[in-house]
């Protein structure tokens, strides 16, 4: 049964996000100050600004302190690691958000590994991703977790659900597939070497798409009534020369056949930010349990 997050068959990610953020705010109201989130941007990357702004707004709605740091583009790997270590040791820092991309001379994976797993609110530390294999999904990568949350919003029972994940990136496709398996779903992962993606996607109850290809998924690639979760964010230039953000799904065409579908924008994006705040609450609980707090 569809819930009140639906407008016809569109899943409104903003409403899903609002519920998560309200839960976070209520927790913080009951438990008092929980430290601050620190956003780290390395170098001058204008496209990062919108992500930082959305995270800051989400933190404000959850009543979480949010600090932005801008590190110089010529910072060394060692200095960046030293700064992260200092934040790991600071009990007033609840979590660390490492914005992407970073300059070419910075080893991103090494910096992500330097963030202590209990402060890894993005779920990007290899330890956090590895935990998903053991069904510990509380600090999972935010976009992957958002896709699972949106499937739950349809009211479908994840146990035994046939899901096709199109895209197998380390931060979305693979963790999302493992999270869904942890919930009892049967998951098929398709990628650029899959011989016929449509052969798999047409039999799925749910199709999750994260390939970075505008309008990749058309109506001929789903079965009627399936749920479609669109993780893609692509900028295209229209005939009038204006830029437009679209997903990996041909939403207008697929929407006539799908039982549920997420719009772009307004679908996965807001929920991803909300999951980041939920991860922060989980991080606080685990830090308290570990005896970190003053």
Q: Any residues with CB less than 8 A from the CB of 244 and at least 6 apart, and which?
A: 235, 236, 237, 238
pLDDT digits (tens, 9 = 90+) for 221-275: 999 999 999 999 999 988 888 989 999 999 999 999 999 999 999 999 999 999 9
In percent, the amount of the chain with pLDDT more than 90 equals 88
From residue 258, how far is each of 32, 179, 222, 270 by CA, in Å?
Answer: 43, 23, 8, 21
Closest by CA to 51, choosing from 112, 100, 87, 94, is 100
To 10 degrees, what angle do helices 13-31 and 142-153 make? 110
pLDDT band at 2, cuts 50/70/90?
Answer: very low
- Return the bridge partners of 93, or none: 36
Q: Is the pLDDT of residue 3 over 60?
A: no
Instruction: Say if residue 87 is exposed, middle or buried (CB neighbours under 10 Å; 0-12, 13-18, 19+).
Output: buried
The hierarchical CATH code for the domain 33-120 is 3.40.50.10860
For 51, 53, 59, 176, 186, the CA distances from 68, given in Å and listed in that order, are 12, 10, 12, 28, 40
CATH class of 6-13+134-269: alpha beta
Given a cut of 70, whether residue 5 has pLDDT beyond it is no
pLDDT mean over 178-182: 95
CB atoms inside a 10 Å sphere around CB 242: 8
| CA angle centred on 183, ends 182 and 185, rounded to 5° | 95
Predicted local distance difference test score (pLDDT) of residue 45: 86
Rounded CA-CA distance 2/12 in Å is 12
pLDDT above 70: residue 4: no
| Number of other residues whose CB lies within 10 A of the CB of residue 101 | 13
Q: Say yes or no to pLDDT of 102 above 80.
A: yes
pTM, whole model, 2 decimals? 0.94
Least confident among 1-5, 13-17, 49-53, 204-208: 1-5
Mean pLDDT estimate for the chain: 94
CA quadruple 178, 180, 182, 185: dihedral sign: negative
Q: Where in the chain is the domain with CATH 3.40.50.720?
A: 6-13+134-269
Task: Give the whole-angstrom CA distance, residue 86 versus residue 115.
Answer: 10
- pLDDT over threshold 80, residue 52: yes
In the chain, ranges of CATH 3.40.50.10860 domains: 33-120
HSE of 20, CA atoms in CB hemisphere, 13 A: 28
Structure tokens at 5: 């997050």
7 band by pLDDT with thresholds 50, 70 and 90: very low
pLDDT digits (tens, 9 = 90+) for 113-161: 999 999 999 999 999 999 999 989 989 999 999 999 999 999 999 999 9
For the beta carbon of residue 67, count every other beta carbon within 10 angstroms. 15
| Residue 293 pLDDT class (50, 70, 90 cuts) | confident
DSSP 118: G
């Amino acid at each position: 049964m569809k819930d009140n997050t639906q407008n016809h068959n569109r899943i409104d990610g903003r409403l899903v996000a609002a519920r998560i953020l309200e839960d976070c705010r209520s927790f913080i109201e009951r438990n008092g100050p929980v430290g601050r989130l620190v956003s780290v941007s390395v170098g001058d990357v204008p496209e990062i600004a919108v992500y930082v702004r959305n995270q800051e707004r989400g933190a404000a709605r959850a009543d979480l302190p949010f600090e932005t740091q801008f590190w110089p583009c010529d910072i060394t790997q060692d200095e960046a690691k030293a700064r992260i270590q200092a934040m790991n040791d600071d009990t007033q820092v609840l979590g660390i958000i490492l914005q992407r991309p970073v300059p070419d001379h910075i080893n991103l994976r090494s910096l992500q590994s330097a963030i202590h797993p209990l402060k890894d609110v993005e779920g990007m530390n290899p330890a956090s991703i590895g935990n998903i294999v053991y069904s510990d999904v509380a600090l999972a990568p935010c976009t992957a977790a958002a896709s699972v949350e949106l499937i739950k919003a349809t009211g479908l029972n994840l146990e035994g659900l046939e899901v096709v994940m199109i895209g197998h990136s380390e931060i979305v496709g693979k963790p999302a597939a493992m999270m869904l398996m942890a919930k009892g779903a049967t998951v098929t992962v398709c990628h650029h070497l899959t011989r016929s993606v449509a052969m798999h996607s047409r039999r799925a109850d749910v199709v999750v798409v994260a390939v970075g290809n505008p309008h990749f998924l058309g109506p001929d690639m789903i079965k009627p009534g399936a749920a479609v979760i669109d993780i893609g964010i692509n900028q295209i230039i229209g005939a009038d020369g204006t830029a437009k953000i679209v997903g990996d799904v041909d939403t207008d065409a697929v929407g006539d056949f799908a039982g549920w579908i997420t719009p772009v924008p307004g679908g996965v994006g807001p929920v991803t930010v909300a999951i980041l705040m939920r991860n922060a609450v989980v991080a606080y609980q685990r830090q308290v349990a570990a005896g970190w707090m003053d």
